[in-house]
């Protein structure tokens, strides 16, 4: 989700207003994803690098998160949406951490859509953490180095309960991944759009999915093999 700041700047508004309007897009996209029957949606909401923004902006984002969680609990419940997170959420301000824990607990039995928020998330941090956990297990003879494979690595990432990413969408015209799910997007389809996040609507999501549906995912094979 990128482009909140530029959306606000274009209108001569404060960046905070851009973030506020961004939450409307979140609402719409979550609802649309559930309606389409897509079982997993992961939103990159706050990166490990976003701490380097001005304190005022970080505070605004944290406050917005708490108020959105409070406001949306009813809708999550109604739409059978389970909240999940990736990233070190225990390092977030305690008000945010508590609210997250509470919503996660209250939505844990919902099974229509798993909505994952990447918060204080960075893929390099995740991979580093994974290597540390596996190393400890190797040291304690719980895993032997020869047994380390894709599966073991997947099981030590924050995304251990999530499937691989099918489609990755980045808004606002930036052609970067910015430390998001680096391991998990090995075979994802990438979709970049110039639309700024606060302008990203259901129609834009439909467009991205139609584009995705017209791609051939070969996973290293040839087209001919896929048609057999
Ligand atoms: C994305 O919008 C929102 C978050 C990182 C939370 P930006 O704040 O990055 O918007 P731009 O890139 O300045 O336009
Ligand atoms: Mg940005």
25 C-beta closer than 6 A to ligand 1: no
DSSP assigned state of 197: G
For residue 86, what pLDDT is reported?
98
103 C-beta closer than 6 A to ligand 1: no
pLDDT in tens, 160-177: 999 999 999 999 999 999
List CB-based neighbours of ion ligand 2 within 5 Å.
2
Q: Is residue 85 part of a domain?
A: yes
Burial class (CB in 10 A: 0-12, 13-18, 19+), 207: middle
Please confirm, yes or no, whether 147 is among the known catalytic residues. Answer: no
**Secondary structure of 72-83 in the HEC alphabet?**
HHHHHHHCCEEE
pLDDT in tens, 85-141: 999 999 999 999 999 999 999 999 999 999 999 999 999 999 999 999 999 999 999
Q: Is residue 79 part of a domain?
A: yes
What's the CA gap between 58 and 52, in Å, rounded?
9
| Distance from the alpha carbon of residue 22 to the mean position of ligand 1, in angstroms | 9
Nearest to 127 by CA among 205, 179, 84, 82: 179
Q: Is residue 223 part of a domain?
A: no
| Distance from the alpha carbon of residue 3 to the mean position of ligand 1, in angstroms | 5
Please confirm, yes or no, whether 2 is among the known catalytic residues. Answer: yes
| Distance from the alpha carbon of residue 64 to the mean position of ligand 1, in angstroms | 14
Q: Which residues of 155-177 are buried (b: 16+ CB within 10 A; e: fewer)?
A: ebbbbeebeebebbbbbbeeeee
Q: Is residue 156 part of a domain?
A: no
Q: For ligand 1, pick from 10, 18, 49 the residue to mutate: most ligand atoms within 8 Å of CB.
A: 18
What's the CA gap between 202 and 217, in Å, rounded?
24
Looking at the chain, list the stretches that DSSP marks H as alpha helix, in order from N- to C-terminal side.
Answer: 4-10, 15-36, 55-78, 94-106, 123-139, 150-154, 202-213, 223-227
3-state SS, residue 41: strand
Q: Is residue 130 part of a domain?
A: no
- Look up the domain containing 92 and give its range: 4-122+167-213
**Edge-to-edge strand list for the sheet holding 113-121:** 40-47, 113-121, 81-86
Nearest atom in ligand 1 to 47's CA:
5
How many structural domains comprise the chain?
1
Q: Is residue 37 part of a domain?
A: yes
Q: Is residue 151 part of a domain?
A: no
**DSSP β-ladder status, 167-170 and 113-121:** unpaired
Percentage of residues of the chain with pLDDT beyond 70: 100
CATH assignment of the domain containing 46? 3.40.1180.10
For residue 228, what pLDDT is reported?
83
Q: Is residue 161 part of a domain?
A: no
pTM of the model: 0.97
């Amino acid at each position: 989700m990128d482009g909140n700041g530029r959306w606000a700047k274009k209108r001569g508004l404060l960046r905070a207003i851009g973030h506020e309007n961004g939450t409307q897009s979140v609402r719409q996209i979550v609802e649309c994803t559930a309606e389409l029957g897509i079982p997993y949606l992961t939103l990159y909401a706050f990166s490990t690098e976003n701490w380097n923004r001005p304190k005022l902006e970080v505070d605004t984002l944290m406050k917005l998160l708490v108020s959105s969680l409070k406001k949306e609990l009813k809708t999550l419940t109604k739409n059978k949406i389970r909240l999940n997170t990736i990233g070190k959420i225990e390092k977030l301000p305690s008000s945010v951490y508590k609210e997250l824990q509470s919503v996660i607990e209250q939505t844990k039995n919902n099974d229509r859509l798993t909505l994952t928020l990447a918060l204080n998330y960075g893929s390099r941090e995740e991979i580093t953490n994974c290597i540390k956990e596996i190393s400890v297990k190797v040291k304690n003879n719980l895993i032997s180095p020869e047994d380390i494979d894709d599966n073991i690595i997947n099981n030590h990432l924050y995304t251990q309960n999530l499937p691989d990413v099918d489609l990755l969408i980045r808004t606002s015209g930036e052609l970067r991944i910015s430390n998001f799910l680096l391991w998990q997007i090995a075979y994802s389809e990438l979709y970049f759009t110039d639309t700024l996040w606060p302008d990203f609507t259901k129609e834009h999501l439909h467009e991205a999915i139609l584009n995705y549906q017209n791609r051939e995912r070969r996973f290293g094979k040839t087209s001919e093999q896929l048609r057999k």
